[in-house]
Chains A and B, each alone.
Chain A
Amino acid sequence: MSDDGAPVIRIEGATKRFGDVVALDDVSIDIGENEFFALLGPSGCGKTTLLRSIGGFEQLSSGRILLDGVDLGHARPYDRPVNMMFQSYALFPHMTVRDNVAYGVKAEKLDKEEVAARVDGVLRTVDLEPLADRRPHQLSGGQRQRVALARAIVKRPRVLLLDEPLAALDRKLRQEMQIELKRLQHEVGLTFIVVTHDQEEAMSMADRIAVLHAGRVLQVATPQELYARPTDHFVAAFIGKMNFLPGRVVTGGVDVDRVGVVGASVNGHLEGADVWLAVRPENARVSSDEGTDPSVGGVVEAVAFVGAQVHTHVALDGGHGTFVVTSPPGATTASAGTRAYVSWSPDAALVLSRP
């Protein structure tokens, strides 16, 4: 949040319809100054539509978007102090790197020295100076991306929109660019709104994340909170890995179908409501005896040693599929085919609605 706490971008009840398809359904989000904010979700969830609406390339069917408290309305992209880095980079193929970057600044009718100074400054910031006279087709994917960034940053927008910035890069480059983008954002001091479908990316880069699905915002929170306390089944499944057990709320726990009552904190849920009992793999343990913690029995299917972790796959009673337990190496492992109990500490489990 900025100094006076007011959000830079406020999205109020944004709804967008394409014919019969509802791409955005009453979305409301606040984004603060200098935040690295991510719109995360699977393809078709509306995140790109939302981004484009902020940029002025789509018009909302209803709702509004406020920038510094001012309704952007139907303002055209060139009238918005917002700039976008396109997924395809959209570099002008017939211009050099320098001309690409200078393009938007020249449109602001500054004098020549000012333009040159700004352009040179940005080229230095993204480390593109030696390539300034090349054309896009002579650049690699990573270099093109930096040009696209530079071109947007040089305009000093209030907000920078990035549409799947890392999608076109190979894995090694992607990880480098994640760090690079964070560094850039701090150095330049801009608010970034990034659209991505990759939850690992969002989790590692963003200050806060909005998870979208089918046009709706499911949860807005910091990465840590999204991971530890997802408020929705979809969010819990989408972020990281999660084990789910279906059941109904009873006093003091969840009556897991065909298993029995498992103790859990059910505050905020009505008795009898259908819920999921959700446990992260690393929060669970496998042991041969039941113990006092909430637990469910089953048969060990397989034990896999994956790098720095041990994955134990247990086929639970009640036919609820495979429960995965992750433990550090060296923990005692059960052998496949034996009967075992999967347990977790009471506050490690989540209870989520099951519509």
Chain B
Amino acid sequence: MLELTNVTAGYGQFTALWDVSLRVEAGEAVAVVGPNGAGKTTLMRVISGLIAPKAGELRFEGRPIGGHPAYEIVGRGIAHVPEGRRIFPALTVADNLRMGAFLPAARRKFAESLTRVYALFPVLEERHKQRAGSLSGGEQQMLAVGRALMSGPRLILLDEPSMGLAPVMVLRLFDLIRRVRQEGYTILVVEQNVRQVLKLVDRAYLLEVGRIKMEGRADALADQDFVRKAYVGL
């Protein structure tokens, strides 16, 4: 479904991602794990078109997407839930979701998508009139995911969904992501919370200082000695 071949990317003179190759099959959940500053967010941003790759090729469902602007890539079926949630704080929950269906194709399916999102996250329906900025961190993350689903994507990019959440909320959120997955969405997730995310996904890549260090099945990766010591904390 998504295929990156030798992608190099960064900001201005600075290169954050070196020669990265990665693939996500339809229906899969894949994680990219690694320490702070490994280039995980840059990877997400180059896929969703917020930055253009310096080299390499990106394909989605067989068609090239590298260097296309973000507002075009979302129309292809990739929704990016950015780091830090980035909801519109002064807009209501309902308006945030309406903005998620900005594209004409998404707007036509608005009612259907909304029912789906409210079924997944009932709290968003309860709070639909509230300003999004007044939600708790966990609710804001649900809103960010819900807003992304409104565009009718096939692939969802989740950047650090557990960031800044209380441990209990992290568990609940991972449960919800699991449910999103069961709805048939393909997921590529970037996380620092390695232990939890490896329970959620099928496969994972380990990214370190901008390069893929290791890849494999999630359970196999979780058993690797140095992964356990370095990231899982067991």
A interacts with B: no
